A and B are shown apart, each in its own frame.
Chain A
Amino acid sequence: MSYEIIEGVTRADIAVRIHAPDLQGLFREAGRALASIEIDNCESIMPVTSRTIRCEAAALDLLLYEFLQELIFIKDVEKIILLPASVDITEDGDRSILSAQAQGERIDRARHLTRTDVKAVTLHGLSVEQTGDGWVATVVLDV
């Protein structure tokens, strides 16, 4: 597992730290971390349907905010939990642009062990940073 729940940031909500060797992997794992907070056994999510997600932002941390927010939106509106399959991030001037393919299925309580709705991504302590051996992100999710 390349994400962990971190303590000492917030009691009411859930703070997650994600590690990955590259930026694309970081966003993929962040999407998986989000799904695992909503569905306890997220390995049970089958790739029945796919969605393309596109978003852009002025900074990488805000791009992660937008990306996770899109996954929450789809969960609320379509009742579909998605796991990111591929993520592409490009730069255009001072904007970062993301295009991702995510796969998943409608929530099925017979198979999916639902845990808690994530209401929103917060900006509290939000960061995306390059380290000596890859990338690390911190996100606090409001549940």
Chain B
Amino acid sequence: MRALLALASLIRHPARTALAVAGIAVSSAMLLDMVMLASGMRLSFRELLDARGFQIRLSPKGTLPFDTEATVGDGRATLEALQRHPAVQAVAPNLGTQLIAPRGEVGVTLAALGVEPAVQGDYTLLEGTQPARGEVVASRAALRALDRRLGDTLTLASDWDTQLRLFRSTQVYRVAGVARFHYLGADQNVVALPLADVQALDDGARDDRLSSIMVRLRPNANAADVARDLTAQLPRVSVLTTADAVAQADERLAYFRNLAFILGSVSLAVGFLLVTTLMTVSVNERIGEIAVQRALGVQASRIVQQIVAEGLVLSLVGGALGLGLGLLTARYLESILGDFPGLPPDISFFVFQPQDALSAMGMLVVAGALAGILPSWRAARLPIAATLREEAVA
């Protein structure tokens, strides 16, 4: 009955109700987007790290993997030390560098990864086979930029000698595969080739050097414990578990998290103000009607419940519409942020989780209920006789 009365009161002013619902829908859409933004990046980054099945990453001391151009020496000794650890199942070393595909005097620059193809976790092969010595797998962007296809050959140089105007250490490679690289931008020109080929470039200048190492642990191994062991054994590298890497990324992305918090709070405040304003005016308009209800014996608590129910209905309907609107705007905002240069294709800023929708709706419903409490409290405490007299005179 109370819900029916609340609904009847809202239907009495359709334009006003529709506008209020629209306002709440926009506020709740923004609120949902900001809740998704606050947790989305962390979640998608964690999924990106976990998806390849490596729980620990090693990089030169004081750096994050591929954050700088620093490398670790004594690569073989480091790999042997890792493989000796009883909890370690597989080790995937990696050496990053730049290669140039000569084209006139400028050339096309490519990011190059030296990997052990059998255990690597940097890419997924889309076509072809893993690279043997003298072969590469390339991103689609690289093949487009170089106008090459699977099975073609391409010439790559390690450097451009600015004094002699010559490409150094040039070598011909066969394109053995096309791959999707997980940790590099979708539009980046990338090739991966056997680690030994990269280490042999420039007459072995990079011999025994590594940029990062990914470690897969045996089932039931505790990553934090293993990381502690490895840190003690290998003082020249930083050992990061997935949780550490996510925490580091979190620190860098604090801007978006804070922005999400501020805009989410503003959205909630706007929704709250809208419902409060509407309910206050609505109660003021119906003061005579409420006084009559009270005179007929309707309890004050029922008046309060009816008005709070009105606020709740507005919040629920607006929130439900806002859910759809929020998913649409999240997709639009994602398409904007997806243009960040070098953003890995698997990273998302807005990740929908049912609990996000629930928490956004929950906050909105609580705000809607709170917004109705003050006007309903005032209405329930009206002096009945005086109000009826004033309304009759008016």
Partners in one complex: no
Interface residues of B (CB under 8 A from A): none
Interface residues of A (CB under 8 A from B): none
